[in-house]
Structure 1
């Protein structure tokens, strides 16, 4: 219930407490102080006692200075008014310990204790063991306030760290989704473009082949839309209590379907697998699939060749991927401005601590190699 009280309400409560304290101080001072000096002492005593309470949240250090000055003045004026200064200083000292930085909090504690001890020397009218009572009161109140302040600062730091981590997670997720969308769109549009161009060439002379090209365009388009729907469904903020109809995340098990699409685009792909296949973690499996997909998409777009080779090597603790062709070999990964596809493949490999290399071959063609580590907890399929 305390957390539901707004800061403005706390300020209003401080104002009411200050008014109540001022009324009590007025009654006590008016009863104690007599003679002509009462017209100066009573107003100043009321202000010195009540004003710090009203200012303790907005100006804690200023409020502490006023309260401390009021305490010293009360010691010098009247014995029965000591309690006014003590309570006012203690009330404000708690706020200083909670709201101010540790150096300021320790400094104010030292000043309060020094004032409490110094006013006990001869010449200061005191009631019995008042200095001891002041020291115990100020120390206890300050300790409680400092503990509360440390807890609040620690909690605030935790919340700020969580906010930074959440922001970084959102950024990472956006980058991942951007890579996914790039892979889906680049692959799908490349196949569609090639098939559309081929269909336009043969539609008059070979209508059956043109019809097959249109079928391949339809199939590729539907699959690309399904994957895009899956990715965009992650970004939807509305209630998913019924669960979105999302396509499963692709992996190396879907390579046969991918190779059929690439073959439909005019590039025959030879797939070779060495070593016992391993059951990969979903993230590594997806990254491996996307690397192969993007590499073959680049073959369709840039290599101007009708064949390519994909080699998967399952080692004891890593998966090696190689995609090579005998095409033009004009696209290089170490150029001044590599394409988004190569950058995405490199990021996917480095994300899991792997390696990536792409370059033209001396005899012609282009080769992409990537290595993804396989954690030892995985087991052969």
Structure 2
């Protein structure tokens, strides 16, 4: 119930408490202060004892200063009204300890204890054991307020850290989806463009080949749309149980369809797998597939050659990917403005602590080499 109270309600309660405290303060001061000074001392005493209660949330330091001044004035003018100043200082000191920075809180405690101990100086007005009572009261209330303030600051820091982590997670997820969409669209559109161009060339002389090109375009388009639906499905705000069922993510097990699709785009792929194939963590498996897909997309788009080589090497604790061709070698791998495909492959490799290298070959062509660390505890598939 306390957590449901809004800040404005707390301020209203402080105002009511200040008004309620002003009534007994006025009665006590009017009863204890005699003579002509009562017309100035009583109103001033009511203000300096009740005002800190009203201000203690918005201006805790100001409220504490006013209350402390009222305590000192009560001890000097009329010691029998010291109880009013003690309660007002206690109320404001709790706010200083709970709401202010630790340094300010310790300074406030020191000032309150100094004012309380000063009543024990010979010749200073005092009432019985007021110094001891004030020191114990101020110390106890300050300790409770400081503990509450530390808890609030710690909780606030945790909430801020959670907010930063949540924001970073959203950013990372958006980047991941952007990379996925780029890979899907770039590969699919490359195949479609090549097949469309080929079909336009042979449609008059060889309608059968043109029909095969259109079939390849249709198949590639359907596959790309299915991938895009899967990726866009994770952006839906509906619960997973209410939304459409999502297809499983791609992996190295899907390399054969990828090789066939690339062949339909005019590039024959020689796939070689060495070592003992095994199941990989989903993230690494997907990244490895996307790296091969993007590398082959670059071959289709830039190499101007009809063949490429893909070599997967399963080591004891790593997976090596080698994609090479003998076509045109310039892909801006090390230039000032590398393409999004090479940047995406580099990011995927570095995301899992891997190594990435892409460069043109001296004899012509281009080569992409990626090494991804994999858990050594995985069992062979």
Q: Answer yes or no: same fold by TM over 0.5.
A: yes
In the alignment, the residues of structure 2 paired with residue 335 and residue 109 of structure 1 have an alpha-carbon distance, to the nearest angstrom, of 63
Mapped partners of 1:123, 1:19: distance in 2: 35
> Structure 1: how far apart are the matches of 2:286 and 2:239?
27
Q: What are the Cα deviations for residues 60-119 of structure 1, in whole angstroms up to 9, with x where unaligned?
A: 111111101101111122233111000000000000001110111000100000000102
Corresponding residue number in structure 1 for 2:231? 231
TM-score by length of 1: 0.98
2:29 alignment partner in structure 1: 29
CA deviation map 1:230-286 (0-9, x unaligned): 111111223433242222100000000000100000111110111110211000000
Instruction: Give the match for residue 16 of structure 1.
Output: 16
In the other structure, the counterpart of 2:93 is: 93
| Range that drifts further, 281-290 or 73-82 | 73-82
Contact 2:332 2:339 in 1 (8 A): no
Distance (whole Å) between structure 1 residues aligned to residue 155 and residue 28 of structure 2: 42
In structure 1, what is the equivalent of residue 70 of structure 2?
A: 70
Could you list the per-position Cα deviations for residues 323-359 of structure 1 after superposition, in whole angstroms to 9, with x for gaps in the alignment?
1111121224112211110111011111111111111
Determine if the alignment matches structure 1 residue 328 to structure 2 residue 342: no
Q: Give the deviation of 1:377 after TM superposition.
A: 2.3
Moved more, 236-245 or 42-51: 236-245
Deviates more, 1:261-270 or 1:76-85: 76-85
Cα distance between partner residues in 2 of 1:287 and 1:240? 24
Whether contact under 8 Å (1:72, 1:119) holds in the other structure is: no
Matched-pair contact (CA < 8 Å) for 2:329–2:360: yes
Tell me the secondary structure at the aligned position of residue 125 of structure 2: coil
Q: Contact 1:93–1:108 (CA<8 Å) still a contact in 2?
A: yes
Structure-2 separation of matches of 1:336 and 1:57: 56
Paired position in structure 2 for 1:340: 340
Give the alignment of 1:202-213 within 5 angstroms.
202-213=202-213
Give the whole-Å Cα distance in 1 for the aligned partners of 2:124 and 2:43. Answer: 22
1:47-58 correspondence to structure 2 within 5 Å:
47-58=47-58
Q: Which residue of 2 aligns with 1:196?
A: 196
Aligned partner of residue 234 in structure 2, secondary structure: helix
Name the CA shift for 1:32/1:281 in 2 (closer, same or farther; >3 Å): same
Query: Contact conserved, 2:119 with 2:130, CA < 8 A, in 1?
Result: no
Distance 1:379 1:240 in 2: 31
Q: What is the CA RMSD across the aligned residues, in angstroms? A: 1.0
CA distance in 1, matches of 2:185, 2:377: 34
Equivalent position SS for 1:235 = coil
In the TM superposition, 1:1-381 aligns within 5 A as 1-381=1-381
Whole-angstrom CA distance in 2 between matches of 1:49 and 1:232: 63
Query: What whole-Å deviation, never above 9, does each CA across 1:165-220 have from its counterpart, x for those lacking one?
Result: 11111111111111111000000000000111111111122111111111111111
Give 5+ residue unaligned stretches, structure 1: none
Q: Could you tell me how far apart the structure 2 residues matched to 1:132 and 1:105 are?
A: 21
Distance 1:331 1:92 in 2: 70
User: Tell me, what secondary structure is at the counterpart of 2:108?
Assistant: helix
In the superposition, the TM-score normalised over structure 2's length comes to 0.98
Q: Report if aligned partners of 2:320, 2:369 keep a CA contact under 8 Å in 1.
A: yes
Deviation at 1:123, TM superposition (A): 2.8
